[in-house]
Amino acid sequence: MEGNFQISKTTNLLRRIKDFTRSILEDLAEGRSPIISINRFRNYCMNPEADCFCSSVEPKGQEILTLKKESQTYRIDMLLRVLLIVQQLVQENRHASKRDIYYMHPSAFKAQSVVDRAIGDICILFQCSRYNLNVVSVGNGLVMGWLKFRESGRKFDCLNSLNTAFPVPVLVEEVEDVVSLAEYILVVEKETVFQRLANDMFCKMNRCIVITGRGYPDVSTRRFLRLLMEKLQLPVHCLVDCDPYGFEILATYRFGSMQMAYDIESLRAPDMKWLGAFPSDSEIYSVPQQCLLPLTEEDKKRTEAMLLRCYLKREMPQWRLELETMLKRGVKFEIEALSVQSLSFLSEVYIPSKIRSEAISP
Amino acid sequence: MLRFSSFFYKCRLSEDLCRLSILLDQSTDRNPPITSILIADTGIGCNLEEFQDLRCPREFSGAKIWDGLLSVKTTCITEDEVYYFHVNLDENISNKRLKRQPSQAKNGAKFSGTEVSLSVFGSTDVLMAPIIGFFQKMLVLQIPNVTMDLMVNQGASPATQTQYVFVVNSDKTSCFTASNLERLKSGLEDYVLRHENCLDMMCEHCFSDREHLKVGSGTACTEENRKRTGGKMEVVIVISDLLETTRQCSRSCDGKTEVLYFENFSPSPIPLVALIALKKIDWKSYGLILASVNDQDGHVFLEWENFPSHVQIQIALHWYHNQYPTRQKTQLGINLVKKGIKNALDDLKAKHEGFLLSSHARKICSYVPDLARSIAGLIFSSTDIDFQGDCLSVLGFQPQEVERDAVEDYIQRKIVTVIGMNERKPQKDQEAAPFLFFEGESKTSYFEDEEIDGEYFSTSLE
């Protein structure tokens, strides 16, 4: 799979690091102040005008880092520190997590977010994806269902045990020999729902692959989902709680995150469909009143902010309508609330009926 | 006429070597004591009209003139005789003030000069201090063709005679060919090293050598069409790191900065415009916090809030007026002084990397060791030997013999230079927006920068 800026060979990245280092040295030797230009990307704006160009993967601006401001100098300092680590990782073909990098100089980095930003800056600067830097995350996601594949020679045979959770592979770029007999991919927000489906032998009854990012999805889970979509060309459905947090997770799978907007093409799932839970489901499926929680002020603020995102207006107006309905009703509920009548309601009734209606919808 | 500087002026105008001598002779049998003063120079001589129109108070250097009488002898090089006359300072009518005495024939000798004698109430002890102070300050200008001396007689016996000689030190600068500014620089260095020229040699308790002084100079001129009120300002600033043994020195400075002020080659009380300018300079942009400006009868001292005790700053201002000195509070004059001082401070910054940086730049400099370590790391951690050699040659090192520490040090110095250079660029340039084509912070929701990546929830990015 090719990311937006993927570099085919590590030598290419190393060459760019060397060019970058050399240009800094030339500036210093000539008595010039080094200038580092970092493109800025965004995957949405909150501009009420419809003519924004957020859907484009092109940079939306540029940040100029110099040694004139302390905040920028600190950022350059952190960038160079992480770049030095990355150079060593790539040269030695070793991998490290962002957390590993943070713990190499915790007092200098001060916070994990500092390392994250430095990694983002490096990716943008060298036009590559994070995995090109040999920076990986310990996978948080789980997968089960009609699927088998290899990762760096290691076999993942989910087919052999359809309702057993397998960890999402860390080195997604090294995943190969993907074989599947599934008809669709189901992404669920929460591990509890994933385990409910596993207990209900959902994959035995339904030819599908179930994935969860266990909450907000990490890069590995999103990359793996994107890989499966491209390799298998299967429809993807997403099941999240009917609350602002669930919707944010849905949007992250579908449109990518702002933080990694520079690498959006390798991380988003553009054809993902929202299976539920919708605000209207509470009436359709008779969710008891005690399971309907009022939206907090914070929830309302979050929802109102999300309603302004340009990608909803442009690409998913029907999602936006559901979000408006939630705001109007002023209540939220979790997916588990649908199972009040029966423990297996989700796997036996709700999901199959939603999948069927999605299949027949135009 | 009775200012020392006017005698000096006559000498300076002479292109020959000149001598300016002062003799103080105290009568021992008088109470209160009376001291006769003889001031003689070998300068170009005086014009008699100068004395005719002389308006001067009946005092000399703070001491009251005894009989109100000046005795003046003067001759120019082209004249055949030495003119001799008395000036009665008590006489208000101009043409009666000057009483001509018999001239003396020069008998073909070619010389010029002026000799003025008078008697004042007061002892030599009181008179000596301002005269010595004047000569010590004059030495700062390093006028090469004038030597100065003071002879003090406190009695008839030779044992009560003391002579002070003030000679320009020409060890460092060739005074005859150097510019006024070069001489001022060299002169101020000597002034600092010799504790206001009180010592004959450099104070070894306080200074290791002249080369350790940091010297900056600046010049400011007014525009051509404003010459009348402006002129030219030359400024020299000397900053010295004092040795630890400075504690043993009784003359060591107390952290104050003396501002020497010269007007047309003469030490002078500092004018109001210069005082205002000193207060208005943005010292903070040079890492200095001015606590106060103390004006003690024209002798100005600056006090700093944050200057280390082992460092001394000395400032000399020389204002060349085209006409009469301007002492008005004019913006033009203030700007001229400010510009001269600022140029001298900038010169110091340019010559000494990482010096006189603002507190803002010093904060940026705190990242320099880290930056240099990372950049050196990118070179030395690379497995590409050709790249290493390439980088080292860019920095001017021979790849075979270089050590990482040396490279790191070099990179550090280069970064500090660049930070200092950034400070000297126009403010407008520094304030340039860091974002091109795009607003600084996007207005997005609380979720936008959150990214759970594996093990943790990352916090928002800036």
ipTM: 0.85
Question: Is residue A52 assigned to a domain?
Answer: no
Catalytic residue among A103, A184, A245, A285: A103
B326: domain range?
Answer: 180-351
Question: Is residue A5 assigned to a domain?
Answer: no
**Residue A203 shares a structural domain with residue A101:** no
pLDDT of residue A236: 96
**Residue A278 shares a structural domain with residue A214:** yes
Instruction: Among B100, B132, B166, give the residue marking a domain's end.
Output: B166
**Residue A63 shares a structural domain with residue A163:** no
The answer to whether the Cα torsion of A177, A180, A186, A192 is positive or negative is negative
Q: For chain B, which ranges sit under pLDDT 70? A: 1-5, 8, 49, 51-63, 66, 94, 170-175, 223-230, 252-253, 322-329, 425-462
Pair of tokens at residue A294 = 């009022």
Sequence-distant (6+) residues with CB within 8 A of B32 are B121, B122
**Residue A222 shares a structural domain with residue A350:** yes
Question: Is residue A50 assigned to a domain?
Answer: no
pLDDT of residue B457: 32
**Residue A159 shares a structural domain with residue A129:** no
Distance from CA of A220 to the nearest CA of B (A): 8
Question: Is residue A41 assigned to a domain?
Answer: yes
The answer to whether the Cα torsion of A189, A195, A196, A200 is positive or negative is positive
Domain count, chain B: 3
Q: Would you say A334 and A250 are in contact if contact means Cβ atoms under 8 Å apart?
A: no
pLDDT of residue B69: 79
Q: Which of A35, A65, A66, A115 is nearest to B459 (CA)?
A: A115
Domain count, chain A: 2
pLDDT tens figures, A310-362: 999 889 999 999 999 999 999 999 999 998 878 899 999 999 999 988 766 54
Taking the Cβ of residue A73 and every Cβ of chain B, the question of whether any pair is shorter than 8 Å is answered with yes
**Closest residue in B to A33 (Cα–Cα):** B418
**Residue A194 shares a structural domain with residue A315:** yes
pLDDT of residue B228: 55
How many Å apart are CA B219 and CA B222, to the nearest integer? 10
**Residue B211 shares a structural domain with residue B318:** yes
pLDDT of residue B445: 33
**Residue A116 shares a structural domain with residue A168:** no
Q: Which of B201, B271, B264, B204 is nearest to B233 (CA)?
A: B264
**Residue B304 shares a structural domain with residue B279:** yes
**Residue A94 shares a structural domain with residue A234:** no
Which one of A80, A259, A302 has the shortest CB-CB distance to B451?
A259
Chosen for mutation from A68, A97, A224 (greatest number of chain B CBs closer than 10 Å) is A68
Q: Provide the Cα torsion B252, B258, B263, B269; round to 10°.
A: -110
Taking CB atoms and an 8 Å limit, are A112 and B370 in contact across chains?
Answer: no
Instruction: Among A118, A136, A154, give the residue marking a domain's end.
Output: A136
Taking the Cβ of residue A63 and every Cβ of chain B, the question of whether any pair is shorter than 8 Å is answered with yes
Taking CB atoms and an 8 Å limit, are A22 and B394 in contact across chains?
Answer: yes
Using a CB-CB cut-off of 8 Å, the residues of chain A touching B430 are 68
Domain containing residue B134: CATH number: 3.30.565.10
Coil, helix or strand at residue B25:
strand
**Residue A217 shares a structural domain with residue A76:** no
**Residue A72 shares a structural domain with residue A186:** no
Coil, helix or strand at residue A246:
helix
Q: For chain A, which ranges sit under pLDDT 70? A: 1-9, 48, 50, 359-362
Q: Would you say A236 and A273 are in contact if contact means Cβ atoms under 8 Å apart?
A: yes
Distance from CA of B428 to the nearest CA of A (A): 12
**Closest residue in A to B377 (Cα–Cα):** A84
pLDDT tens figures, B85-135: 888 877 777 677 778 889 888 888 888 888 888 888 888 888 888 888 888
Taking the Cβ of residue A81 and every Cβ of chain B, the question of whether any pair is shorter than 8 Å is answered with yes
Taking CB atoms and an 8 Å limit, are A80 and B390 in contact across chains?
Answer: no
Q: Would you say B313 and B238 are in contact if contact means Cβ atoms under 8 Å apart?
A: yes
Taking the Cβ of residue A25 and every Cβ of chain B, the question of whether any pair is shorter than 8 Å is answered with yes
Half-sphere exposure of B215 (CA within 13 A, CB side): 19
In angstroms, what CA-CA distances link A162 with A148, A158, A181, A247, A352? 10, 6, 11, 28, 17
Task: Kindly report the backbone phi and psi dihedral angles of residue A52, in degrees, each rounded to the nearest multiple of 5, phi listed first.
Answer: -75, 165
Domain containing residue A130: CATH number: 1.10.10.10
| Chain A with chain B: Cβ pairs closer than 8 A | 191
Q: Which of B134, B142, B214 is nearest to B172 (CA)?
A: B142
**Residue B145 shares a structural domain with residue B189:** no
pLDDT of residue A104: 94
**Residue B8 shares a structural domain with residue B99:** yes
**Residue A297 shares a structural domain with residue A321:** yes
Instruction: Among A103, A136, A169, give the residue marking a domain's end.
Output: A136
Question: Is residue B367 assigned to a domain?
Answer: yes
A121: domain range?
Answer: 10-45+58-136
Taking CB atoms and an 8 Å limit, are B455 and A97 in contact across chains?
Answer: yes
Question: Is residue A51 assigned to a domain?
Answer: no
**Residue B205 shares a structural domain with residue B285:** yes
pLDDT of residue A296: 96
